[in-house]
Amino acid sequence: MSIHSRKIPVWFATAAAISMLVGLFFMPVYVPFRHSGSTMFQVTLNGTYVGVTDSRATAEHCLTQARRTLAKNNKDLVYVKAELGVEGEEVLWGQVDQDSEITKRMVSVLDTNVQNAMTRCYTVKIGENTINMQSRSDILTLLEKALSQYDKDGKYVTDLALDTSREINVLVPKVITTQEQALQTEKEESLPSGGINATLSDVLNSAQPAVGRNFEDYKLGITAMDFTQKIEIAEAYMPSNQISDLTAAEEEVLKQNEQQQIYEVKQNDTLSGIAEMYGITLDELLTLNPNYSSSSAILRVGDEITVTSPQPELSVSYTKQEYYEEDYTADVIYKDNPDWYITKTEVVQEASKGHRRVIALNSYEDSDKVSTSIVKEEVTREAVPEIIERGTKVPPTFIWPVSGGSISSGFGHRSSPGGIGSTNHQGLDIAVSTGTAVMASSSGTVTVAGWQSGYGYVVYINHADGKQTRYGHLSRVLVHVGQSVIQGQKIALSGSTGNSTGPHLHFEMRINGTAVNPLSYLN
């Protein structure tokens, strides 16, 4: 009896311990010990501690529930930072938090980390630029205000249609007349879509400008309108501070912004005239074009000049049928003469302006006319064309007659060198060493080849355009009289013969016997 009485407390203590362990395994706030890695997970959200779970999946489930709760509490779409942190540890047993409590704490953390309320809106892409607007009605108002700048009679309105060529829902504007809009509304209520399209096609055809015999038969005014830039509209969610109201959108889209463009120089253009044409100062134009130093810089037809012109972000293209009377000039008539060089022209008949009445379809981009197509014309006085006879033969070119060398004495007045040279120098002295090859400046026929007083050994060449070149003070002549030479052909060697103070080439050019400065004709 005494032995058993001593064992009873031991059995009792063992049974109590086993019961406690079993209870821990079945209680919801404790986790059992497993030799399989982490068994408890400390959870943080955006760096804030939110509780302990028994698995990573439980933490992610709680975050999903917290997001749903936050969404229910906000009418608009919200953007919120949500960085979940889960750090595990292996324990024998430990207490975990209820899922509902963790979710509640997560909602509190998310609520304090809401960055922006995302409002439903429309993103409008105009060319390469975008703007966010509140509603379709605001977009239509903006687009129609752009049209109204030129459509003073309010004949045109804008509708939004689904772009069927896109896989996503994108709207594009369609510019239609108020008559088409009214008919479309009427037909949509009574006809299937095929009937609407057919009827609208009939309306568009009937809206084409009438072609009649008399000027009174033509309807004047705008015949078509559209937007110059490609416009795409899509639904979106944006922070409210990134959505423009109608007033701000009009200021951004319709205001005139200075934009650079290229102007191609035409006949008789000047830099000051181009600046005035584009409403900028000459200094501004020179700044945009640093290769031109001043207003007197030489311009050539076809040169490209950078200019600035005020243009809105949203431009309108339209065609306008207009009547006007004007003086006009007939196209110049050219009469080619193969015996003349292209440098020679002669007016055979003077021009006289004519007068005409015109119906024209003029195409515009904003206020700038870009093209004209004459629909009807009545000439009240015929224009007389200017007739110009012009040469078609290309004149010869002239090259530097030696390789290298430098000018030691220029053309015109000078002091007599050594007391033996002329004070009215009729050519160029090119300093080169004796024996340097002298080449024909241009193709021609040799008329003098030999010794001549003053020049020493000399060569004269007559050229097809009437010019003559002379090469003096030579050490050796390599051609003969009557010989045809081509440009660049070696004709002599330089020297210091005749009235010369040292080795050089005297190069001379004459037109009708009169000496001219060769530098004006050399390429």
Q: What is 430-457 written as a DSSP string?
A: EE--TT-EEE-SSSEEEEEEEEETTTEE
Burial 38-63 (b: 16+ CB within 10 A, else e): bbbbbbbbbeeebbbbbbeebbeebb
Burial class of residue 467 (count of CB atoms within 10 Å of its CB; 0-12, 13-18, 19+): buried
- More confident site: 261 or 162: 162
Average pLDDT over every residue of 459-477: 94
Query: Are the C-beta atoms of residues 81 and 113 closer than 8 Å to each other?
Result: yes
C-alpha 506: how far from its chain's center?
54
Output 354 or 414, whichever has higher pLDDT: 354
pLDDT tens, position by position, 292-322: 878 778 788 888 888 876 678 899 999 999 9
Residue 91 has pLDDT above 80, yes or no: no
Lowest mean pLDDT among 11-25, 49-63, 353-367: 11-25
User: Rg of the chain's alpha carbons, rounded to an integer?
Assistant: 46
How far apart CA 160 and CA 430 sit, in angstroms, is 78
Tokens of 213: 């015999």
pLDDT of amino acid 103: 94
Place of tokens 């943080």: 44
Identify residue 511 by its one-letter amino acid code. I
DSSP 495: B
Q: Which of 30-34, 198-202, 220-224 shows the lowest mean pLDDT across its residues? A: 30-34
Helices H / strands E in the chain, number of each: 9, 32
Give the tokens for residue 112: 């304090």
Give the whole-angstrom CA distance, residue 54 versus residue 40.
Answer: 5
> Tens digit of pLDDT for each residue in 207-219?
454 455 788 889 9
Quick: pLDDT tens for 106-141: 999 988 877 666 788 999 999 888 999 999 999 999
pLDDT on residue 294? 81
The larger pLDDT score, comparing residue 104 to residue 114, is at 104
- pLDDT for position 418: 54
Structure tokens, 268: 């008789």
- Residues with Cβ < 8 Å from 293, sequence gap 6 or more? 286
* pLDDT number for residue 204: 46
Residue 5 confidence (pLDDT) above 50: no
Work out the percent of the chain whose per-residue pLDDT is above 70: 84
Determine the pLDDT at residue 336: 95
Q: Which domains does the chain have, with CATH numbers?
A: 15-112 (no CATH), 121-249 (no CATH), 257-312 (3.10.350.10), 317-393 (2.20.230.10), 406-520 (2.70.70.10)
In the prediction, which pLDDT does 142 show?
A: 94
Residue 113's pLDDT is 79
Please check whether residue 146 is in contact with residue 124, taking contact to mean a CB–CB distance below 8 angstroms.
Answer: no
What dihedral angle (degrees, nearest 10) is formed by the CA atoms of 136, 141, 142, 147? 130
Residue 298, pLDDT score: 79
C-alpha dihedral over 64, 68, 74, 77, to 10 degrees? 60
Q: Which helix (H) or strand (E) holds 99?
A: helix 99-112
DSSP codes, 401-434:
SSSS-EEEE-SEE-PPGGGTS-SEE-SEEEE--T
115: phi then psi, degrees, rounded to nearest 5: -90, -45
For residue 225, the model assigns a pLDDT of 95
| Alpha carbon distance 71, 84 (integer Å) | 18
E strand or H helix at 317: strand 316-328
Q: Are 444 and 510 in contact (CB under 8 A)?
A: no
Average pLDDT, the chain: 84
Backbone phi and psi for residue 37, each to the nearest 5 degrees, phi listed first: 100, -155
Burial of 486-496, coded b for 16+ CB within 10 Å and e otherwise, reads: eeeeebbbbbb
What does the pLDDT average to over 32-37?
47
pLDDT by residue (tens digit) across 343-375?
789 999 999 999 999 999 999 998 888 899 999
Helix, strand or coil for residue 23?
helix
Q: Is the pLDDT score of 25 beyond 70?
A: no
For residue 20, pLDDT beyond 60: no
Contacts for 373 with CB less than 8 Å, ≥ 6 apart: 360, 361, 362, 363
